[in-house]
């Protein structure tokens, strides 16, 4: 898991230096650098101040975009270095069909439910247009849309055959999918067996229930 950290040079006009693990190393020696992190909690419209060092507040959206641009470059390098591994030879990056999927915190889904209920309650006192607006902003759907816009702006769909999926899943669902994909044995998940996958980290622990429905059709429910 790449740490959500960005390292900038200090000052109001600080430039992005690095991100992820290298930025994590800068925390211990942050002289002359401003380290930003924990910006997921402020997305999409909040402002973030440095965890270490001196620098201006930056919008969570700006930080997400900067990280997405850096991440895309590393994904491309990793893909090209590893596409010849194993029996399957993946096509070159510019010829591959790649769908990028988005995940959001499970708390965003709960916010979605609460916001929709609040919008329904206030519908009598507001116009239907106002209710629709309040139902859309601040929800997991809205968060997913904003993240998708950032990835598109960062270039994730800039190659023919590359796309950013509109469907959004929770982080715990993403962890369950990863667990299924990386299972060391094909029999580790039995038919109709219920498995609870825990996504712990970043100050939260989310749960997802995974059940294999049809091993022949390779379908599961989350």
The residues spanned by each domain of the chain are 1-95
Distance CA 56, CA 47 (A): 10
pLDDT tens by residue, 55-108: 999 999 999 999 999 999 999 999 999 888 776 788 999 999 999 988 887 766
Q: How many helices (H) and strands (E) does the chain have?
A: 6, 10
Residue 12: enclosing H or E segment and its boundaries? none
pLDDT tens by residue, 96-145: 999 998 888 776 654 544 444 443 333 343 333 333 333 343 455 788 88
pLDDT score for 124: 41
Q: Can the peptide bond before residue 53 be classed as cis, meaning omega within 30 degrees of 0? A: no
CA distances from 142 to 91, 131, 183 (A): 34, 14, 33
Render the burial of 37-72: b for 16+ CB within 10 Å, e for the rest: bebbebbbeeebebbbbebeebbbbbbbbbbbbbbb
pLDDT score for 204: 67
pLDDT score for 217: 62
pLDDT score for 131: 30
Distance CA 124, CA 81 (A): 58
Which of the given ranges, 43-52, 113-122, 123-132, 208-217, has the highest pLDDT on average? 43-52
Closest CA to 140 of 116, 165, 176, 124: 116
Inform me whether the pLDDT recorded for 152 exceeds 70. Answer: yes
In this structure, the chain runs to a length of 222
Q: Report the DSSP pairing between strands 16-19 and 33-37.
A: unpaired
pLDDT tens by residue, 17-37: 999 998 888 887 767 899 999
């Amino acid at each position: 898991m790449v740490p959500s950290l960005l390292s900038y040079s200090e000052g109001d006009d600080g430039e992005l230096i690095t991100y992820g693990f290298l930025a994590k190393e800068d925390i211990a020696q942050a002289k002359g650098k401003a380290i930003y992190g924990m910006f997921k909690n402020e997305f999409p419209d909040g402002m973030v101040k440095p965890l270490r060092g001196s620098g201006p507040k930056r919008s969570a959206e700006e930080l997400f975009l900067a990280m997405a641009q850096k991440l895309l470059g590393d994904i491309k390098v990793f893909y090209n270095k590893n596409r010849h591994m194993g029996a399957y030879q993946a096509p070159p990056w510019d010829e591959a069909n790649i769908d990028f999927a988005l995940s959001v915190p499970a708390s965003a889904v709960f916010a979605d439910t609460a916001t929709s209920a609040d919008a329904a309650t206030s519908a009598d006192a507001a116009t239907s247009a106002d209710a629709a607006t309040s139902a859309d902003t601040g929800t997991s759907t809205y968060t997913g849309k904003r993240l998708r816009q950032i990835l598109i702006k960062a270039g994730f769909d800039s190659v023919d055959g590359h796309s950013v999926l509109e469907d959004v899943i929770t982080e715990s669902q993403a962890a369950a999918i990863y667990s299924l994909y990386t299972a060391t044995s094909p029999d580790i998940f039995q038919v109709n067996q219920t498995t609870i996958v825990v996504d712990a980290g970043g100050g939260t622990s989310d749960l997802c229930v995974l059940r294999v429905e049809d091993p022949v059709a390779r379908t599961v429910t989350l």
